[in-house]
Structure 1
Amino acid sequence: MKKFGVYLSLAMISLSLPACSLANSKEAGTVDAAVVNKEVEKNKSYAKKDFDFDVVPETFQVAITENGTKEIVAQPLEAKKVTDLKKEKKQISWTYPTEQIHVDIQKKANHLAIAITSSDKEDRTFNWPKLDATNYTLPIAEGKTIPNDQKDWLAYFKQNDELAMSESFSMNFFTTNQQKFATTFVMDDTFDSDLIAQTEPHLTLENAHHFIGFNPNKTLNYRLYVTDNDPVAIAKTYQMDRMERGEFKTLDEKAEKNPEIKKMAGAIQVYYWNNRILNTEDIKWNKLPDKVDEPIFKWIGELLDQYGEDGSEEYLNALAAFKNHEGYTFEKNTILTAINYTLLYPQFYNDAIFKNPDKIAQQLLDKGIDSLSEQERYTLNKHLLAGVLSDLTPELNSWGQASSTDVLKDMKASGIENAWIGLPNWANGLMNPTMVKTANDQGYLVGPYDSYQSIQENASIDWNTASFPNKDLYEQATVSKKNGDKVAGFLGKGRKLNPTLIFPDVKERFTGIVKNKIPFNSWFLDTDAAGEIYNDYSKDHLTTKNEDVAGRLQRMDYFDQQGMVVGSEGGNDFASKEMVFAHGLETPVIMWSDPDMRENKDSPYYVGSYAALDGGIPSKYNKVVPIKEEYKAIYTDPVYSLPLYKLVYNRSVITSHHWEWDSYKIKDQVGERRMTEYLYNTPPMAHLDKASWEEHKSDLSQNAKTWSPFQKAALQHEMTDFSMLTADRLVQKTQFGDKLSVIANFSDTDYEADGVKVAAQTALVLNDGKETVIKGD
C-alpha cells in the first residue's frame, strides 16, 4: 500500500490571513432571524405564475407555454381509451378505464397540481411522465446536471436503467431543462417510484409508479413548477414547497430541544478505529513463549472453536510459533485479535481458569453474570484476563489508552476544537469508556455506529447489530416480498427487519448500552436515511413504505430525545427533520457493482477489504485508490455536480462523504475534493487510528483551524446562490448570505474578474472582504 504522505501536498492550506478572520462576531445559532427570513422570503420569487398548460388526455402529453414559448414537458404515451372527461379553464380530469387510473389537473397560483389515482385493489404500475429534454437536473446524491448525450452518463444509465428513486434521489423532485425555462416535478414522496432510463438515441427518462394494492393511499401527487433554467431557482422552489408543507426544520430549531446539536457546527468527521483494548505495546512479547501453555491460552482457543466464525486454527498456530521463538508481526496480530475478540464473549468466565478474581471482578460475579449489563460484562472480562496475564501486561487502566484516549487528547491539543468521533460499534466504547469520556470532556461529539437493518438467526459476536434478545423477531418481524420470500439481509446474511415492529427492541438495545452511563452524545443509524425501504407483504403485518419510513423516523426521534445527535447514511430528505448529519450525499458509494473495485484484489481499483490484521483501519477505508475515468463524471467531476441539496438544506442537515470514501480515499483528488468541501460547506472526513493520526496530523489540524470557523459562519445562512463563472463550468461560486462566499477554480488556468483573482486549482473564501486561500494542487 502506498504511503498517504505522497498525496498530502495536494491538500495543504495556505492562509493569506489568519483563520480567525472567517469567524463572524455571532456564534452559530445566533444569526439575526430577520436576515434569515429575508433569505428565505426570496424563495417565493423563483416559481413563475404566468404560464399556460395544454393536455392531451389520450396520450397524457403536457405542454407548458411561458412568455410565448411552448414546450412539451411530458412526452406523449401510447394512446389510451378515455372516459369521464371534464374540462374547465384551469382544470381538466379524466379516467383511463382499462388501467383503472383517474387523472385530475388543476392550475394553482404558482404550479400545476397533478393527481393520479388508482382504483385497482391489486398492485398497479403506471408510467408518467415521460421526459425527453436536452438536459436533466436531478437530485442524485448532492445534485447533478446531466446532458442527454454525455457518454459517461449514457453508460451509467445503460447499466442502471431502473433506479429506485427513494434510494437514488436525495429529494422528491426531478427537473427537465427546456430551451427557455425549466420544469420541476415535485412529488409528495418517491417511495414507490422507479426512474426508467432509455439511452438510445439519447437519454430519456420515465417515472414508473407502483400503486400498492393494500396501501389505502392510491394517489400520486405532482406539483409542476416552472422556473428559469437555474439550479438556484429549481432548488429554492423545492425548498419553498417543503416549507409550505411543514417538512423543513433548521439545526437551530433542532438544537432547542437538544443543545448537543450545537457541537456539530464546525466539526470535522472522524471514524475512529479502536478495535483492541489490548494492543501490541501492552504485551511483553519476550515473556510469551514461556506462557503459551498456561490454561488461559487454551481456553481462548476453545472459545474460538465454539463461538468464533473462523475457529482457532490460526490462533493455535501462532501460539506454537511463539513457543518456538518464531513469533513475528503476523503471529502477534493473530493472538491479539483472538484475545480481544473473546473478551466480548458472555461465556468468557470459567471458574477453573480464573481462580482468583480481583475485587472488582468478584463484585461483578456476585451480582450474577446473567444480570450484568454489557459494559459490566466487558469490565468483568478485562479484570479476569488482567488477573491471569499480570506478568505479560501493564496495569489494566492503561490498556489501549495510548492508541485511543491519548490520540484524542492530542487532537484537541493540536487545534482540532470541533469533531464528531464515530466508533465502528458500541462495543468499542463499552470496552474503553475512558476514551468515550475523554472525547465528551473535550467538547467532541462521540457515538457508535448502530444498525437495525438486518437480523440473523444465530448471529456471531461480529454481527451484534444483527442480534436481538427477542428471538421471535426472525420469524415475526422480517420483511416478505409479494411472492412470500423473505428479503435477504446485508451481504445476503439473514433477513431485513420491519422497523414498525421492533421499536421496543430498539429501546431495549439502547438502554442496555447506556445502562452504566457511558457518555455517548451521538448516534449513527445505518441506512435509515438511505431510502432502502420496503413494502412488507407479510400477511400478519402488511406494511407500506410510508409506514416503514415512519418506523425509522420514530427511532431517530427516540435517540434525539435521549440527547443523542442523530446521523444516518444517505441523507434522503424524508428524514431531514429528524437527523442532524448524514454521510453519503457528497460522495456516495462508488460503483458497488464493479468487480474491479469490489472483488478483483489485484486490480489497482480494488477498494480494500473489511478486515484489518492489526486491528486498526480496514483497507476498505484507508487504502488510497484511483477511480476509473468513466466514473468521474458520475461521482466527482465538478462540471456535472450541483449543490442542490445544500441550496435546500444548508441550515438543516450537515452532509459529508460516505465512510467508504473519506476525504483522503481517492488518489489524485484530495485537493480537488477539499476545494469542493469549502464550496459546498461539506465537513472533511477521515478514518483515524494512532498511525493514521500521526500521518495526517499536520494536515487535519491545519485544515480544522480554517474549516471550523468557516462552517460556523456558513451555517448561519442559507446557501443563497450558486453560479458557474466560466463557460467550461470549472470556476464555480457559492454564496452564504451577503458576506460569505467561496470561489473554486478547478481549471488549470488562473481566473480573474471584478478585482478578484483565484489561482488555478485553488479555492478562495471571501468573508466580509477578507480572503482565505484553500490550495488544491
Structure 2
Amino acid sequence: MSFIAKSFPLTLLMAVLAAPSATARELSIALISGADLVTVMPTSLKINWKTAEQKHLAINSPNLTINEKPQTITHLTQPSPHQAEWTLLPSKIHVKASLKGNLTLSFRLDNKEVIERNHPMTLAWFDLPQKITQALYLPFSEGMRIPINNATWAKYLEKNHSGANTTQDLKMPFWTVKNGNRYVTVQLLNATNNRLDFSSNQKQVDMFASHQFTQLNRAESFDVQISLDKQLLDGAKRYRQYRIKHNQAEPLTKKIIQTPAVEKMIGASQVYLFGSDGISPEDVVNWWKLKDWYFTHSTLTIPAEADKELKALTQGKDWFSHYHKQLLVDSINASLHTKYPAPQPTLASNGIAAQFNAVQLRKKWLAQHAQPYLISSGKWGQALSEDMITALKQSGINKLWLGLDNWMPAFYQPEVVDKAKQAGYLVATYDSYNTAIPLGLNDGWLTAQLPNAIRKQCAIELADGSKKKGFRGNGYYLNPQCHLDYVQQRVKDIVKYGRFNSLFLDVDGTAMAREDYQAKSKESQMLTAFNHRMDWIAKNTGVVLGSEDGNSLTTTGTAFAHGLETIGFGWTDKDMKSNKASPYYLGRWYPDHKPDFFFKSAKVKKPYKTLLFAPQYRVPLYQTVFHDEVINSHHWHSDSLKFSNVQTERDLISMLYNTPAMVHLSRDEAKSANSPRIKALQHYQEGYEPIHQQLWDKQLVDFKWLDNKGNIHQTRFSDGSTITANFSDKLFKYRQASLAPHTIIADLSNGKKVSWVSK
C-alpha cells in the first residue's frame, strides 16, 4: 500500500494506522521531487528509488529495529509530496523523511524518553541491499573498492571491520554503493555514535549500520543524506561540497597565508629520523680508549649489562664487535642520563626546559672528559646530525619534511636543526597528549610523561564507570578538553627549545571520539576539542602542523597527515607480530636508534596483499575530497620501503594520487649522498616534486580504468592534468602512446610530461 497522506481522508488515514501490525508493516509512503519517486516503508525502512530513466532501485533492505525489536508507527503525516513524518513505537523515535534532490532521513528521540547511563537505545537502520549491489566503496583508508560477491572480502570485513565506528574507523562519514549503472551514496550528517557491522552471509558482503542514542547525546538528532549519482566519485565530490558549504574545508592556499612555511610541504617527501640520544657509533674515533676511559676514569654509574659484556674485553685479544660498539655507546648515554636526570613534569612545570638543560649538561660533561675519543661535539647525534643534513643536501633533495620520534635529538643539536631549516627543510617532532602513564611504567615514552593530576583528572570515564585504558592498555586515554592550558604551554616550550618549524601531533587527527561521563562530554564535543587544540597550535606557534590519519572530522589547522595511504593492518597476526622465522614478521621494536619494526623489510601475506594493495581494490576517495587541503602519506609503521612484495603497487598508487613517499633514516643509513635510502628518496623526489608543484592546489576530479582488468589507472585533476599508471608487467598502448610496465606518466597542464618507473 503506497499513499500520499494529504490525498487521504483523515478517517481513512486513521483506519490504516489502526490496522493490525502486519498491515501496518506493509504501509509505504511515496515522496516525490521532480521526476524522482522514493517509496519508504516506515516500520522497516525499506527504501526504493525510481527515476525517469530507471525503475525502482533498492536503496535499503527492510530491517529496522530499536534495541533489536521491530517497531510499529503512529502519528504519520505528510504535509507535502516530498516530506513525511512519523513516530516509531515503542521507542518513541520521531522520523522525518524529505526528498529534495537528495533523500534526507532524520531520527530524533522523544524529549521525555529516559535513557540510563549504561543502556543506550540502538537504532539499526541500514541493511545493504545485497541482491542488486555489485560493489561497495568504503573510506576505511584512502578508499576501498569491494565487490559484493567476493568471499575473501566478505570474510575479511566480518573479521576485521565489524563493530567499526564512523569517526575514527571510517575515515570520511559516507559510503557509496554501485547498483546497476547508478551509484548510491549514504552520508552520515551526524557521524558520531554510529557502528558498522559486516557479515559474510552466503559468502557475500553484507553491511549494516546502527546509531546509539545515549544519556549524553540523547538531544542530538541522527541525520542521514542519501544521494543517487551517475559516477563513482560523485559521492566523494558531494561530501567535499558539503564540507565547503559548512565551512569545514580549509585549502592549502589559505593555510599558506596563515603559515607561510606550509609552502615547504609542496613537493616534499617525508622522512622519519630515528634515535634519541647524544652520541652514536659514528661519533667514536677510538673504541678501545673510549672503553678504557669509561670503565677506569669516567666515574659514571655503569649499567650491569655493560659491566658484564664489555669490562673484560682486552685490546689485541678480543674483537670489538658491532654489538659491543653499540652497547658501549648506549651505556655511556644511559650513564649520562643517570648523572644528569631531568625531573618529572608537574602541573606547575612541564619539564621541557629542565630536559633541555639536562641535555646540555650531559653534552658538555662528555665533551670535557671524553673528547679525545670522539669527533667534535657539534657533529654528534643519532637521529639528527650535521653529516646527515650534509648528505641530504649533497644528494640534491631540496624539499623534505624531517620528523623526529621525540624532541630530545633537537635538544642535543639545536644548531643542526637550524642548518636543516637553512637547507629549506621542515623539522618536526612527534608529540601527543592522548595517553598518560604513571611514573616508572615506560620512562622513555616522553609524550605520555604527564603529571599525575592530568592522568587522574582527565581520564575518560566510560558509561560503566571504568576509566578508558590508554594506548596498548597503558595508563588512561585523556579528554582533549581537559587542562588545555598545560598542553598549549608544553607545545610552545617544545617548539622553542627544539627550534622546530613543524609538529606532528599524534592521534588528534584520527577523530578518536569517545563519550566521557566524568566530564559529561559527548563524542561530538570531543571532536570539537581535538579541532580546537590543533587550530590553536597552527595559529599560535607558527609551525606546520600535521596529525595521524587526517580523518575528515578532525583536520582543522593541519597541512599534512600520516596514515591513510597505507593503514596499519594485521595487528594480531602471529606471523607478522611474533614469528621471527616468518617472511611476514615486521620486526622488533628495538634497538632504539634503528628499530627493526621500521627498517626491516618484510613481505605482505594474503589476504592483506591482495585486498589492501592490489590496484583493482583501490579508489582515491580521500584524495577526491582532500587533495588540495591535506597532504597525506603512509602510516609511519610502513614507510615506502617496508614491504618488498607490494612496493610497486604502493609506489604507483602514491604517484597516481599525487601523494608523497615516506622513507625512514637512521644515522648509519645516511652517511653519504650515495646511501641506498637517500638514493631511494632521490628517485621518489624526481617523480613526485614536479607533479606536486603543479597539482598541490588542484582537485582530483576523475578516476577510471583504461583496461578491463584494472591494471591501468588514470586520475584527472581540475586543471586538466592526468596521471596514468601501468601496474602490469606488460607494455600498454593508448592514445598513440606507450606506457611501460610499472610506470606512471603525468601529462601536466603546464606542458610538462613526467615519466617515472617504480624500482
Pairwise same-fold verdict (TM > 0.5)? yes
1:498-528, Cα deviation, whole Å (9 max, x unpaired)? 1110311212312332444x42011101111
Residue range with higher mean Cα deviation, 117-126 or 265-274:
117-126
* Alpha-carbon distance in 1 for matches of 2:424, 2:334: 30
Q: 1:596 to 1:401 in 2, by over 3 A?
A: closer
Given residue 551 of structure 2, which amino acid in structure 1 is its aligned partner? Answer: N
1:236-282, Cα deviation, whole Å (9 max, x unpaired)? 12212221222111000111111111111100010012433212233
Shift of 1:347: 4.3
Report if the CA contact (8 A) 1:270-1:685 is conserved. yes
Report if the CA contact (8 A) 2:406-2:429 is conserved. yes
Residue range with higher mean Cα deviation, 619-628 or 143-152:
143-152
* Alpha-carbon distance in 1 for matches of 2:532, 2:267: 28
**Match for residue 37 of structure 2 among 40, 52, 68:** 52
Matches within 5 A, 1:10-49: none
Q: 1:398 to 1:126 in 2, by over 3 A?
A: same
Report if the CA contact (8 A) 1:725-1:731 is conserved. yes
**Match for residue 429 of structure 2 among 441, 448, 460:** 448
Shift of 1:206: 1.0
* Alpha-carbon distance in 1 for matches of 2:298, 2:109: 67
SS at match of 1:507: helix
- Counterpart of 1:336 in structure 2 is 329
Q: 1:511 to 1:166 in 2, by over 3 A?
A: same
* Alpha-carbon distance in 2 for matches of 1:527, 1:686: 21
SS at match of 2:56: strand
Q: 1:158 to 1:182 in 2, by over 3 A?
A: same
Shift of 1:49: 7.1
SS at match of 1:480: coil
Given residue 418 of structure 1, which amino acid in structure 2 is its aligned partner? Answer: K
- Counterpart of 1:314 in structure 2 is 305
The structure, 1 or 2, with the larger RCO (C-alpha pairs under 8 Å, 6+ apart) is 1
* Alpha-carbon distance in 2 for matches of 1:322, 1:134: 69
Given residue 512 of structure 2, which amino acid in structure 1 is its aligned partner? Answer: E
* Alpha-carbon distance in 1 for matches of 2:228, 2:727: 31
Shift of 1:289: 4.6
- Counterpart of 2:567 in structure 1 is 588
Shift of 1:731: 0.7
SS at match of 2:311: helix
Report if the CA contact (8 A) 1:112-1:223 is conserved. yes
Given residue 730 of structure 2, which amino acid in structure 1 is its aligned partner? Answer: T
**Match for residue 735 of structure 2 among 742, 754, 767:** 754
Shift of 1:620: 0.7
Matches within 5 A, 1:371-770: 373-400=354-381, 404-459=385-440, 460-468=442-450, 470-516=451-497, 518-538=498-518, 541-561=519-539, 562-612=541-591, 615-693=592-670, 694-768=675-749, 770=752
2:87 maps to 1:95: yes
Q: What 5-or-longer segments of structure 1 have no aligned partner? A: 1-47, 302-311, 351-367
- Counterpart of 1:76 in structure 2 is 62
Shift of 1:349: 9.4
Shift of 1:226: 1.0
1:398-436, Cα deviation, whole Å (9 max, x unpaired)? 323897222222212221111100001011211221221
Give the aligned CA root-mean-square deviation in angstroms.
Answer: 2.4
Q: 1:567 to 1:392 in 2, by over 3 A?
A: same
How many residues are matched? 694
Q: 1:622 to 1:289 in 2, by over 3 A?
A: closer
* Alpha-carbon distance in 1 for matches of 2:507, 2:169: 13
2:98 maps to 1:112: no
- Counterpart of 2:77 in structure 1 is 86
Report if the CA contact (8 A) 1:118-1:124 is conserved. no
* Alpha-carbon distance in 2 for matches of 1:592, 1:234: 31
Shift of 1:391: 4.2
Q: 1:650 to 1:289 in 2, by over 3 A?
A: closer
Report if the CA contact (8 A) 1:418-1:443 is conserved. yes
Q: 1:372 to 1:75 in 2, by over 3 A?
A: closer
Report if the CA contact (8 A) 2:353-2:493 is conserved. no
1:730-750, Cα deviation, whole Å (9 max, x unpaired)? 111011234421111112332
Q: 1:100 to 1:165 in 2, by over 3 A?
A: same
Shift of 1:50: 4.3
- Counterpart of 2:151 in structure 1 is 151
Shift of 1:533: 2.5
- Counterpart of 1:220 in structure 2 is 222
* Alpha-carbon distance in 2 for matches of 1:403, 1:547: 39
* Alpha-carbon distance in 1 for matches of 2:339, 2:535: 31
SS at match of 2:506: strand
Report if the CA contact (8 A) 1:481-1:537 is conserved. yes
1:284-323, Cα deviation, whole Å (9 max, x unpaired)? 2121453344464542x3xxxxxxxxxx332322342436
* Alpha-carbon distance in 2 for matches of 1:506, 1:396: 32
* Alpha-carbon distance in 2 for matches of 1:371, 1:650: 36
- Counterpart of 2:236 in structure 1 is 235
* Alpha-carbon distance in 2 for matches of 1:404, 1:155: 48
Shift of 1:346: 8.1
**TM-score, structure 1 as length reference:** 0.85
1:713-770, Cα deviation, whole Å (9 max, x unpaired)? 1113111211111111111101123442111111233222222221232211112454
Q: 1:394 to 1:411 in 2, by over 3 A?
A: closer
- Counterpart of 1:142 in structure 2 is 142
Report if the CA contact (8 A) 1:103-1:115 is conserved. yes
Shift of 1:97: 2.4
SS at match of 2:607: helix
Given residue 632 of structure 2, which amino acid in structure 1 is its aligned partner? Answer: T
SS at match of 1:698: helix
- Counterpart of 2:289 in structure 1 is 287
Q: 1:372 to 1:445 in 2, by over 3 A?
A: closer
- Counterpart of 2:756 in structure 1 is 774
1:466-496, Cα deviation, whole Å (9 max, x unpaired)? 112x321122110122111111111211111
**TM-score, structure 2 as length reference:** 0.87
Report if the CA contact (8 A) 1:121-1:214 is conserved. no
Shift of 1:344: 4.6
Shift of 1:371: 10
Q: 1:174 to 1:331 in 2, by over 3 A?
A: same
2:258 maps to 1:257: yes
Residue range with higher mean Cα deviation, 271-280 or 141-150:
271-280
Matches within 5 A, 1:351-390: 373-390=354-371
Residue range with higher mean Cα deviation, 396-405 or 243-252:
396-405
1:367-388, Cα deviation, whole Å (9 max, x unpaired)? x999954322211221123223
Shift of 1:567: 0.8
SS at match of 2:637: helix
Residue range with higher mean Cα deviation, 273-282 or 574-583:
273-282
Report if the CA contact (8 A) 2:378-2:413 is conserved. no
Residue range with higher mean Cα deviation, 246-255 or 269-278:
269-278
1:98-147, Cα deviation, whole Å (9 max, x unpaired)? 12311101112x21121111234322111111112331111121111111
Report if the CA contact (8 A) 1:292-1:319 is conserved. no
* Alpha-carbon distance in 1 for matches of 2:375, 2:385: 16
Shift of 1:652: 0.5
Report if the CA contact (8 A) 1:289-1:323 is conserved. no
Shift of 1:591: 1.7
- Counterpart of 2:209 in structure 1 is 207
* Alpha-carbon distance in 2 for matches of 1:569, 1:513: 19
* Alpha-carbon distance in 1 for matches of 2:589, 2:283: 25
* Alpha-carbon distance in 1 for matches of 2:311, 2:287: 14
